Amino acid sequence: MSDAAGAPPSSTSGGQQAQPSGPVGYISPEEQAKRDALAKQADEGMNQNISNQYRRQAAQDAAASAAVSGGGFVMDADGMGKLLPKWQSIADKLERARQLGVQLRFVKAPAEDDGSLMQKKAADSHADAYIKSVTAQRDYARGYATSLQTAIGTYQQQEQAAADAVRKQGA
């Protein structure tokens, strides 16, 4: 028997799902593009979150310094001198982490099948995000160390100039 439209009766029940249009594990280019866009968005969000954490920490540090010093800023060259090697060490460690992250890009796919190649592509995307994040952190640490070094140098020059002025006045 046929239905009202003249089509032969269906041998499948209405509850069965259509089969995918490729091998098991196949992801269409459209679906892969969606997944890549979501991964990129997540990576950018992670980097933005790290930047926001640094800004909040800097604001908290500034507020704590202002509270301790009664609202004024007191330059302590010895204190900055003790912090400088720590920040340089942090920058060096982050540079080593960045270099290790770069090596992740050279890991080969375990096989030449579609699944392995997709895993390699995903691993490369994560390596890129890691490298970007660690590079930003390293640059921040280097910049902070450079700022400390500049502040120490400026303070020492001012101290020397003041000592020279006192010596001239006394002579």
Residue 3 has pLDDT above 50, yes or no: no
Alpha helices in the chain (DSSP H): 29-68, 77-104, 114-170
Q: How far apart are CA 12 and CA 34, in angstroms?
A: 32
- Residue 37 confidence class, pLDDT cut points 50, 70, 90: confident
Could you tell me if 17 and 100 are in contact, meaning their C-beta atoms sit under 8 angstroms apart? no
Instruction: Output phi, psi for 83, to 5 deg.
Output: -75, -30
Domain spans, the chain? 29-154
In this prediction, residue 64 carries a pLDDT of 67
- Residue 61 confidence class, pLDDT cut points 50, 70, 90: confident
Query: What amino acid is encoded at 109 in this protein?
Result: A
For the chain, give the mean pLDDT. 80
Alpha helices in 105-113 (DSSP H): none
In this prediction, residue 159 carries a pLDDT of 83
Model confidence pLDDT, tens digit, residues 73-96: 566 788 888 889 999 999 999 999
Q: Which of 87-101, 118-132, 149-163 has the lowest mean pLDDT?
A: 149-163
Q: What is the largest CA-CA distance in the chain?
A: 123
Closest among 101, 107, 104 to 133, alpha carbons compared: 101
Residue 50 has pLDDT above 50, yes or no: yes
- Residue 70 confidence class, pLDDT cut points 50, 70, 90: low
pTM for the model: 0.52
Burial (CB < 10 A; 0-12, 13-18, 19+), residue 18, is: exposed
Question: CA torsion sign, 52 to 56 to 57 to 62?
Answer: positive
Residue 6 has pLDDT above 70, yes or no: no
Q: How far is the CA of 108 from the CAs of 26, 67, 112, 118, 135, in angstroms?
A: 21, 54, 10, 12, 23
Task: Please list, in sequence order, all residues whose beta carbon lies within 8 angstroms of the beta carbon of residue 66, skipping any fewer than 6 positions away.
Answer: 72, 73
Please give the distance of CA 132 from its chain centroid, rounded to a whole number. Answer: 5
Residue predicted with more confidence, 171 or 166: 166
- Mean pLDDT throughout 26-51? 80
